[in-house]
Amino acid sequence: MEFLTTWNFNNLPPDERQKFYKESTLPDGRTLREYWFHALDKEIEIAPGVFFPAWTYNGQVPAPTIRATEGDLIRIHFQNLGTKPHTMHFHGFHPIEMDGALPHQFVYPGETFVYEFDAEPFGVHLFHCHSVPISQHISKGLYGAYIVDPKHDTRPKPDKELIMVMNGFDTNFDEANEFYAVNTAAFYYAKNPIKVKVGELIRIYLINILEFDQINSFHLHAQFFYEYQTGTSLKPDFYTDITVMGQGERSILDIRFKFSGKIMFHAHKTEFAEQGWMGFFEVHE
């Protein structure tokens, strides 16, 4: 799945990418990153043969990832092509008019709104719809990753960067999830292991947006990782093999695999693992 390694629409050919993302330099020398987002009702496949009537940003769940460097100006042209009022509510600094959380900030079907704010603080953040009922707007699929890179980075440089959004789906609308996953598709990375190499630095931007059973976790087999909580420090907080997160919590994980082979990772709430939140790294020499 492309989502894992995609940000700022860098998976699209240049002319196609222009429709959704533009980068330019402001008079004061800063970088302006402009995005074109829209909300859209769309059916997505969340497990082999199982389809979910999702509410999406740009037709996908999670939304396309937004990535900037600390201090950049972010401008998002948001259009609601869906059937309910939606917003884009970002975690991070922004003027309160840009919060997208109050009823007068709701963007109604057919309307547009422009969100503008500086990218700060650095770290791994998220955005989601804050329309009501929030639990519904989140569980239907309106969320995505928002990464702000530090301006002066002293951390080791990663060889591979992966975005993992831990989510779930309540397909029968009983306020409990039937499917759990990283990046929507249940068991996707179990069937399509993520290929990496021994010794290279893998950086994971991990976000928990699970609705209903909101405590989630990430556990890696046969290996430990450095964890930077919320990614807001240049020094790791932990060296561990498991991290537990409430809804909206996130971390940066740095991994260097010691051994080759098929290495499992999953929620250490086994119920989630057995309902889709389980995958493998395929580590080569």
Residues that bind Cu ion in the complex, under the rule CB under 5 A: 86, 129, 131, 137, 142
Per rule CB under 8 A, is residue 55 in the interface with another protein?
A: no
Which C-beta is closer to Cu ion: that of 137 or that of 256? 137
Task: Return all residues near 213 (Cβ < 8 A) that are at least 6 apart.
Answer: 168, 176, 177, 269, 272
Per rule CB under 8 A, is residue 178 in the interface with another protein?
A: yes
Per rule CB under 8 A, is residue 171 in the interface with another protein?
A: yes
HEC readout, 102-160: CHHHCECCCCEEEEEEECCCCEEEEEECCCCCHHHHHHCCCEEEEEEECCCCCCCCCCE
Name the one residue in this structure whose structure tokens are 């996707």.
Answer: 188
Which C-beta is closer to Cu ion: that of 26 or that of 132? 132
Which C-beta is closer to Cu ion: that of 33 or that of 86? 86
Binding characters for another protein, 257-276, by CB under 8 A (x = yes): --------------x--xxx
Per rule CB under 8 A, is residue 53 in the interface with another protein?
A: yes
Residue 83 Cβ vs another protein, minimum distance, rounded to whole Å: 10
Which C-beta is closer to Cu ion: that of 135 or that of 192? 135
From the list 17-25, 106-114, 124-132, 172-180, the region that binds another protein by CB under 8 A is 172-180
Per rule CB under 8 A, is residue 211 in the interface with another protein?
A: no
Q: Which does 57 bind (CB under 5 to 8 A by kind): Cu ion, another protein, none?
A: none
Task: Return all residues near 106 (Cβ < 8 A) that are at least 6 apart.
Answer: 85, 86, 87, 131
Per rule CB under 8 A, is residue 48 in the interface with another protein?
A: yes
Residue 84 Cβ vs another protein, minimum distance, rounded to whole Å: 15
Q: Which does 51 bind (CB under 5 to 8 A by kind): Cu ion, another protein, none?
A: another protein
Burial of 230 (0-12, 13-18, 19+ CB in 10 A): middle
Which C-beta is closer to Cu ion: that of 57 or that of 281? 57
> In the numeric block, which tokens belong to residue 223?
């290996």
Q: Which does 53 bind (CB under 5 to 8 A by kind): Cu ion, another protein, none?
A: another protein
Name the one residue in this structure whose structure tokens are 């493998």.
Answer: 280
Binding site for another protein (CB under 8 A): 46-53, 169, 171-172, 174, 178, 186-187, 271, 274-276
